[in-house]
Structure 1
Amino acid sequence: MKPNCASSSSGSADQLHPDWKPRRTVFRPELVRSSSPGSATVSARPGSLLFWWRRLAPLAALIALLLPGVLQGASVTVSDAVVNLASSAGGAKNYTFTDATSGQSVTVALTLTSFSSDPAAVLSLLDGNSRVGVGNPNVGGDGNLIVYGEGVNFAASLVSASAGVNAGSVTFRVQGLGLRAVSGTAPLYWQSSATASNAFTLTGETVNTLDAAGASLNGSSYAGQLGFSVNDGSDAQLSDAGTIAGLGLVLNVSFTTNGVVTAPLITSWFTAYSGKYARIYTSDTTKNAGTAATVWTNGTTSQALPVYSGVQEISSSINWVYIRSSGLGSHTMGPWYLDAQHQQLFPNFPTNQKVYYRLPRTPSVPGTKTANNGGAIGYFVDGVAMFNSWDAYYWNGSAEVQSMGNGTGYWNRDAYVNEGQSFDGNNAHQAGGQHHYHANPPALRFLLGDHVDFNSTTKVYSESTAAPTKHSPILGWVADGYPIYGPYGYANAADANSGVRRMISGYVLRNGQSNTVNLASTGRTTLPQWAVRLYQVTASQAGPTVSPQYPLGRYMEDN
């Protein structure tokens, strides 16, 4: 937003009661109790949700402290293609079993290997990667079928269990395996840590039951072996081809839990500094000196009294999570300038926004999408407003004009590119007094322990040059109830043990690379597909020619 732009609230935001003032909040796992310094508990109207929340929360906490955890049984089944396991590095893969009721989970490492009298025999993917055999890839022989003297071994061990899982209760079994009878009628044998002996004759191509019960993973590993018990020329293959959805491997884990995982929409809010006053650097001079202010004015906006930073209260109902926040960052904010040379101060300083905001506990993707307007589209976990990527200007066909929303044209300016000189070190500034982030907030990420370094001398945040070692935390929540996180995630999003790397955005500059058109050559004559869907127009919408005045990247639609 430009300095003189008014901001509007999100459709999910409720107006704060006018007499609300920032109060220190004491956050404990078992209750939320609010008080101002030297005063009694914050009052609330009898009959209101807040009134009952504050009276029932301590009682619920007392009950939780006095009563032992109630153990709940969980049995979770996971299916996979057997070729996926066989083709994984070393035939090893981690599987996570999450109980839908409690939210608790267990991760088990499973390995599939072959055995054979031929030491060069390996697992072989066959028939368009729909079946698995055992054979020497350099010898024709049995055609990579499983014959007498050959077979497969399974090995499993417990990798991790969430905090509410009784680790000693975890059991594992290979519940079923897809098999194909190629020829012969000799029975197969199955022996495992869970099954002493299970001989069965194959018929057709289907999933066969292996373990009827599980084996404990408490301090021990699981082992299982499958092969032919009689040498009559029979042969077989592991198979996904004859199974529902092509999943020939069925695994099961059972465990007990002592409670329900609290939803991250409640637990992810950053409250470590909620009892500290918000602070700003008013200029480069005060920043270099390390002199932060808790009250401030610049003639346009002012904060006459100290105010606590960030989230001050979290409460919830069946359908909603509510937060109260001053809207001011937990790090030292500022300074802000209008120019890259830092000669002209930005006219707006942040002020207490007295935020009262709600988010849905069960988000869903709507069939009909609605474009958001200016102002907060959600909140970061430190209670600071989240603005979208547009600034307040768009191309109207002949010039850039200002709009209080996202513009009514089809080429809307990118705030990070066009307003970045007015951002502080956390990519933030304010519309009026509403402090907000438009982009990656490194100061917040530093407080959350993400991959960011802070130089205490220069007061500069920077991306760490060391290799990332952990997934980035949740950074914020959008009004529809979905989280924002990044920039680091798992190399394989479904596998927490696949390593960590920087995530790759689906939005790329249309400069001729990554199979995009080059707008510098073609001109801004077409919109990207995301914009076509959003604006519900044809792609043929002209914008200004790429030039030094209108460089590539100036508009959101350049991506």
Structure 2
Amino acid sequence: MLNGNGIPNHEVGTFPNSNNPNTISEQTVSERFTLCPTIISESGLEVVGQAVAIAYALNSVKFDPATAGRCNDEGECSLAKGQGNWNIEALGHETFDFGDDMNHAHVQPTGEYHYHGMPELLIEFLGSNNGMTIVGWASDGFPVYARNGFSNPTDPDSEVKELKSSYKLKTEPDANRPSTVTALAGGPNQGSTNPNIPIEMGAFTQDYEYVDGLGDLDQCNGRYGVTPEFPDGIYYYVVTDDFPFFTRCLKGDTN
């Protein structure tokens, strides 16, 4: 069981800021995680919306990698509750700015500080155990590690290395993908503007594709292997420096 107030135990950026108007406030976090997680979907079940938090860090801060930002085919975009088929990513590009800090985190309108990617100062605070750092628990009960793992997933004596995702940018944009921001609304200090700026590849979730075996991790940014905390082996998710940064799907049962 994880109880907390959602306030990080490390330095954060300045909030509100010019791209995020929200102030951090205490939350009520009380989450239960199964001690015996089991995989029910090898391909993973996509987690959509806020009904189920995909994971929590050990300090009770939520992992929430997706955004509510959207664009339509005409390039009309909104950073908050947008309409359209193109999902805006918080990280990995410079087209849109969600005001995230040094921990790749920012604040929701509810005051909830949450991570979109690598929680750098949490990792520094926790330190490592034989080169690996467990940073949290996914809602299905499987552990979450940051960045590193054993080069041979079943050998705890093998070299520790940075684990890579198996996603890459598509060589060509999808059909009907907007190439220019023609209107931007709904974000802080944005009003409704016509910036007429190019939308670089990587700004949308749809700009990426999964290639089995390209990196170390599967489609849910996880793998099976031994860890210092689980010497007999377990499935675990990994926070990575590159897309998807954090898993967008869960393999275990959240009920």
* Distance in 2 separating the partners of 1:490 and 1:328: 31
Could you say which residue in structure 2 is the equivalent of 1:213? Answer: none
Q: Is the 8 A contact 1:337 1:423 kept in 2?
A: no
* 2-structure distance, mates of 1:405, 1:377: 19
C-alpha spacing 1:407/1:380, structure 2 compared with 1 (3 Å):
farther
Structure number with higher strand proportion: 1
CA shift for structure 1 position 443: 0.4
* Number of the residue aligned with 2:223: none
CA offset at residue 419 of structure 1? 5.7
Q: Verify: 1:425 aligned to 2:115, yes or no.
A: no
Determine if the alignment matches structure 1 residue 350 to structure 2 residue 10. Answer: no
Measured against aligned partners, the alpha-carbon deviations of 1:340-384 in whole angstroms (never above 9, x if no partner) come to xxxx37421111102112222222333483432147322011110
Answer yes or no: is the 8 Å Cα contact 1:378–1:385 preserved in 2: yes
Identity %: 26
Unaligned runs of 5+ in 1: 1-321, 339-343, 451-468, 511-517, 526-541
* Matched residue, 1:158: none
Matched, 1:324 2:33: no
Q: How far apart in 2 are the matches of 1:494 and 1:407?
A: 45
Q: Please list, as runs of the form range in 1=range in 2, the aligned pairs for 1:147-546 lying within 5 A after superposition.
A: 322-336=1-15, 338=17, 344=18, 346-367=20-41, 369-374=45-50, 376-388=53-65, 390-402=66-78, 409=85, 411-416=86-91, 417=93, 422-432=99-109, 433-450=111-128, 470-510=130-170, 518-519=171-172, 523-525=173-175, 542-545=176-179
- 2:167 match: secondary structure: coil
1:253-294 Cα offsets, whole Å, 9 max, x none, are xxxxxxxxxxxxxxxxxxxxxxxxxxxxxxxxxxxxxxxxxx
Where does residue 114 of structure 1 map in the other structure?
Answer: none
Structure 1 residue 496 displacement after superposition: 1.2
What is the identity, as a one-letter code, of the residue corresponding to 1:492?
Answer: N
Runs of 4+ in 1 over 3 A off after TM superposition: 399-408, 417-421, 545-548
Give the letter for the 1:378 counterpart.
A
Quick check: 1:380–1:476 contact (8 Å CA) kept in 2? yes
Q: CA deviation at 1:546?
A: 7.5
Change (3 A) 1:496 1:334: same
Q: Which amino acid aligns with 1:478?
A: A
Q: Is the partner of 1:445 in helix, strand or coil?
A: helix
String of CA shifts for 1:470-495, please: whole Å, max 9, x gaps: 43211111212222212111111111
By how many angstroms is 1:434 displaced?
0.6
Q: Of the two, which has the highest radius of gyration? A: 1
> Could you say what secondary structure the match of 2:69 adopts?
strand
* 8 Å CA contact 1:328, 1:383 repeated in 2: yes
CA distance in structure 1 between the partners assigned to 2:11 and 2:28 by the alignment: 19
What secondary structure is seen at the aligned counterpart in 1 of 2:140?
coil
Aligned pair 1:553/2:202, yes or no? yes
Deviation string, structure 1 residues 307-328 (Cα, Å, up to 9, x no partner): xxxxxxxxxxxxxxx2211001
| Structure 2 unmatched ranges of 5 or more | 182-196, 209-255
TM-score scaled by structure 1? 0.31
Classify 1:348/1:337 alpha carbon distance in 2 versus 1 (closer, same or farther; 3 Å): closer
Sort the Cα spacing of 1:369 and 1:422 in 2 relative to 1 into closer, same or farther, 3 A.
Answer: same
**Paired AA for residue 524 in structure 1:** D
Q: Which deviations, in whole Å up to 9, do the C-alpha atoms of 1:392-418 show, x marking residues without a partner?
A: 122333234458779762x31111246
- Tell me the distance in 1 between the aligned counterparts of 2:107 and 2:147: 24
Determine if contact 2:15/2:107 at 8 Å carries over to the other structure.
Answer: no
Contact 1:472 1:489 in 2 (8 A): yes
Q: State how far apart, in whole Å, the 2-side matches of 1:405 and 1:439 are.
A: 21
Rounded to whole Å, the distance in 1 between the matches of 2:63 and 2:108 is 12
CA distance in 2, matches of 1:371, 1:385: 14
Aligned-residue CA RMSD (Å)? 2.9
* Counterparts of 2:33 and 2:82, CA distance in 1: 23
Distance in 2 (alpha carbons) for counterparts of 1:504 and 1:334? 27
CA distance in 2, matches of 1:385, 1:371: 14
Structure 2 SS opposite 1:360: coil
Give the distance between the partners of 1:406 and 1:487, measured in 2 at CA. Answer: 31
Counterpart contact for 1:448–1:473, Cα < 8 Å = yes
Give CA-to-partner distance per residue, 1:112-137, whole Å, 9 cap, x none.
Answer: xxxxxxxxxxxxxxxxxxxxxxxxxx
Q: Which has the higher contact order (CA 8 A, sep 6+)?
A: 2
